[in-house]
Amino acid sequence: MNDIPKKNILSAQVDLSKFTDASFAPATEEEKRQQDVMSESTTFFKDGMRKLFKNPLAVGSLVLLAVILITIIVAPMVVPYRYEEILSVNGKRDKGAKNLAPFTYSEMEQRYIENGGERFPHIFGTDEQCRDYFIRVVYGTRISLFIGFFASIIVLITGMLYGSISGYMGGRTDLIMMRIVDIIYSLPDMLMIILLKVVLDERLRFPPGSFLDRMGTSMVSLFIVFGLLYWVSMARLIRGQILSIKENEYVLAARAIGAKPGRIIRKHILPNCLSVIIISTALQIPSAIFTESFLSFVGIGVKAPMPSLGSLANAAREGLQSYPYKLVFPAVIICLIVLSLNLLGDGLRDAFDPKLKR
């Protein structure tokens, strides 16, 4: 032992005097097992979903959205009234069923029930034109969600096509396409939407009975307006993503073996910016719902008798003093939908794209 010189305190040399033979014995089975990788290998998508389901706010919003969705799908099958139906008892118009409070019956209905008839309760009461308010709110939620979802899809498709072409082509094409985007971006969107909507509502005429006609001109013009104006920020976002992704080696490799631009965009670039696309689409839905409710308020939203949450809330302002609940129901549902979509979008962003976390 003494022939080993004393170790300098600053030396990095291993002090062999501290080891015995036991230190070099082979590892026991138990020790080997500690080295095993216990967690399963995971994909990017699975990992993101796991993080998402750990976020209580996101899970809560998912549950809430699921409840709302199930309600609006199931309720029209259960409730025997239609959204444009003026209430009647035994084929006679029920004039007393105006502005009933929740879970009450009109005099005619009362008599009908006393005579042994069955009457489905008016869960939210009735409106000023003797229509069941619950089913109107259900249909309003359907319409608002449909508009939000469909408008986001339109924005997504337009923005994705435009942004990916512009970003992939680069050079002069990119410059010109982005100047166009700059100009559309600097237009005040809400004013332009109002203007376009006023004109389109007057001009659009569809052959009677066709699909577009059944959807209604005001709804179609709403989608046209979204398709024309709202895609620019999506296009900018996707272009930015593509500009950074296309510098990667695998894109160069794909190009080297002769893949066509369309294939490179579809197979290599778009899947890599999928998370950003999903997140901004999720955040687009509430903004479309907001826009629709604003337009309904200004009087150019969906056409009566079709309800949307915005037009219901607007109609409720008339008898606000006497029937405040008529405002509260659609208002609470708009807020819940927008809130849960916002929280879900934030949760998706945190789960799939930690870089974007604010």
Binding site for another protein (CB under 8 A): 182-183, 186-192, 194-196, 198-199, 202-203, 286, 290, 293-294, 297-300, 310, 313-314, 317, 320-321, 324, 327, 331, 334-336, 338-339, 342-343, 358
**Separation of alpha carbons 267 and 273, rounded Å:** 11
Of 125 and 286, the one with the shorter C-beta distance to another protein is 286
Going by C-beta distance under 8 Å and a sequence separation of 6 or more, which residues neighbour residue 18? none
Closest separation in Å from C-beta 21 to another protein: 51
Q: Of the two residues 13 and 321, which places its CB atom closer to another protein in the complex?
A: 321
Of the pair 49, 198, the CB lying nearest another protein is at 198
| Residue 56: Cβ-neighbour burial (10 angstroms; 0-12, 13-18, 19+) | exposed
CB of 182 to another protein, least distance (A): 7
Give CA angle at 246 (240, 249), nearest 5°.
145
Residues 108 and 106: their CA atoms lie apart, in Å, by 5
CB of 5 or CB of 188, closer to another protein: 188
The least CB distance from residue 314 to another protein, in Å, is 7
Of 111, 115, 116, give the one whose Cα is nearest residue 97: 111
We find the least distance from the C-beta atom of residue 328 to another protein, in angstroms, to be 8
Tokens of 27: 């590892």
Q: Which is nearer to another protein, 112 or 206 (CB)?
A: 206
Least distance from another protein to the Cβ atom of residue 106, Å: 26
C-beta of 106 vs 286, nearer to another protein: 286
Q: How far is the CB of 295 from another protein (least distance, A)?
A: 10
Specify the amino acid at residue 206: F
Instruction: Look up residue 178 and give its two tokens.
Output: 């982005």
**Closest listed residue to residue 79, CA positions, set 113, 126, 111, 116:** 126
CA distances 69 to 65, 72, 138, 139, 254, Å, are: 6, 5, 10, 11, 43
Look at residues 188, 221, 234, 235 and name the one whose alpha carbon lies nearest to residue 295. 221
